[in-house]
Amino acid sequence: MRGEYGVGIRIAVPSKGRLREPVLRLLEAAGIEPLYSPDATRALIVPTNWDNVSLVYVRPEDIPAIVSAGGAELGITGLDYIEEHGGEGLEIVEGLGIGRARLVVAVPEEAPVESIRDLPDGVRVATKFVNIARRFFESHGVRARIIRITGSAEAMPRLGVADAILDVSSTGTTLRLHGLRVIAEVMRTEAKLIRGSHVDPQDPLVEVIVEAVRSVLRARGYKLVLMNVPEEVLEQVVEVLPSMSGPTIARVEGPRPMWEVITVVPEDRLAHVLVEARKRGARDILVLSVDRVIP
Ligand SMILES: Nc1ncnc2c1ncn2[C@@H]1O[C@H](COP(=O)(O)OP(=O)(O)OP(=O)(O)O)[C@@H](O)[C@H]1O
Ligand SMILES: O=P(O)(O)OC[C@H]1O[C@H](OP(=O)(O)OP(=O)(O)O)[C@H](O)[C@@H]1O
Ligand SMILES: [Mg+2]
């Protein structure tokens, strides 16, 4: 990449929490790696192996505001934090399929409440998503008192600090552990790649980064399968193969007519495809990982 582009691009990434490692792994798969770890150095703005691309390590909840204000051209954070910020001054470029969860409203098991409508005026709701909460309860005609906390919302009802919470839930373990029951889903969330509205989407370096990330996302869940197939069973073997656009078939040099079949298989069908292909006479099967897909 050296010297190809004039403008520098800063990518805001979570400095902590659940998204940090998956986000760094995704960027690494896209070929973008920080030159050193911020943990070791305390550096918060770290150059990468790409000339003119640096990572900015900040709290995930601050990323929308930072990208919106022009402190970084690109960023990766949860849709929940984007909605909480409001989303002005930024564009959502791509869903990344990580950090998937729901934002829910929950109350103590024993509360005489079945739905949002049953919540009395003045109900105290603990949450770090105060804007989302305000909007949600207003739209449902509930006059809630929002209590701002920055974490551990699930503990608040038992502590007597709140009557309900609005928080992230994925497996539901934390809610169950604290005797809470979901009465409404507010939204679904996942990590998104965002771009500041002030940034030209056609900026060459932005385009290259976005495409690199997209190519990694497309490759998720696929394997490349190679196999040798004797000519007499070729048709039967090809029948069981899914493919992006037909399998590639090449002749194998040798004494008997043999073909090499190359195809891309979704991981959830891999076991089935391998067993069936083997049964039908395929041999020497290789399964390779797919790093990128560029259609
Ligand atoms: N249990 C979960 N499953 C999937 N995604 C989650 C879960 N909890 C939080 N997230 C998502 O991870 C993103 C980052 O959250 P954040 O780092 O602020 O919280 P955290 O990982 O719980 O860290 P901390 O508890 O230190 O604040 C948010 O967008 C959030 O929606
Ligand atoms: O439905 P579950 O699978 O239980 O996940 C939900 C919990 O996950 C997150 O917290 P995290 O585990 O990141 O810890 P935290 O309390 O430090 O936020 C979130 O804030 C919830 O508390
Ligand atoms: Mg948390």
pLDDT tens per residue, range 193-206:
999 999 999 999 99
Domain coverage including residue 137: 101-188
pTM of the model: 0.92
Asked if 85 and 196 sit in the same domain, the reply is yes
ipTM of this complex prediction, to 2 decimal places: 0.95
User: Does position 1 have pLDDT exceeding 60, yes or no?
Assistant: no
Query: What CATH number did the domain enclosing 118 receive?
Result: 3.40.190.10
* Ligand 1 pocket residue status of 119, Cβ below 6 Å: no
For ligand 2, atom 7, the nearest C-alpha belongs to 169
For a mutational test of ligand 2's pocket, the pick from 132, 154, 169, 177, i.e. the residue with the most ligand atoms closer than 8 A to its C-beta, is 169
For ligand 1, atom 31, the nearest C-alpha belongs to 78
Stretch 47-71: mean pLDDT, rounded?
Answer: 97
* Ligand with smallest separation from the Cα of 14: 1
Which atom of ligand 1 is nearest to 61's Cα?
18
In this structure, is residue 242 part of a structural domain? yes
For ligand 1, atom 25, the nearest C-alpha belongs to 17
* Ligand with smallest separation from the Cα of 153: 2
* Ligand with smallest separation from the Cα of 16: 1
The model's confidence at residue 4, banded by pLDDT at 50, 70 and 90, is very low
In this structure, is residue 4 part of a structural domain? no
Asked if 176 and 113 sit in the same domain, the reply is yes
Asked if 197 and 64 sit in the same domain, the reply is yes
Give the Å distance between the CA of 190 and the centre of ligand 2.
14
In this structure, is residue 294 part of a structural domain? no
For ligand 2, atom 6, the nearest C-alpha belongs to 169
* Ligand 1 pocket residue status of 17, Cβ below 6 Å: yes
Say if residues 77 and 20 touch (Cβ distance below 8 Å): no
For ligand 1, atom 5, the nearest C-alpha belongs to 99
Asked if 88 and 105 sit in the same domain, the reply is no
* Ligand 1 pocket residue status of 64, Cβ below 6 Å: no
Stretch 181-190: mean pLDDT, rounded?
Answer: 98
Give the Å distance between the CA of 232 and the centre of ligand 2.
56
* Ligand 1 pocket residue status of 18, Cβ below 6 Å: yes
Asked if 47 and 106 sit in the same domain, the reply is no
* Ligand 2 pocket residue status of 168, Cβ below 6 Å: yes
Which atom of ligand 1 is nearest to 16's Cα?
17
Q: What is the pLDDT of residues 152-173, one digit of tens each?
A: 999 999 999 999 999 999 999 9
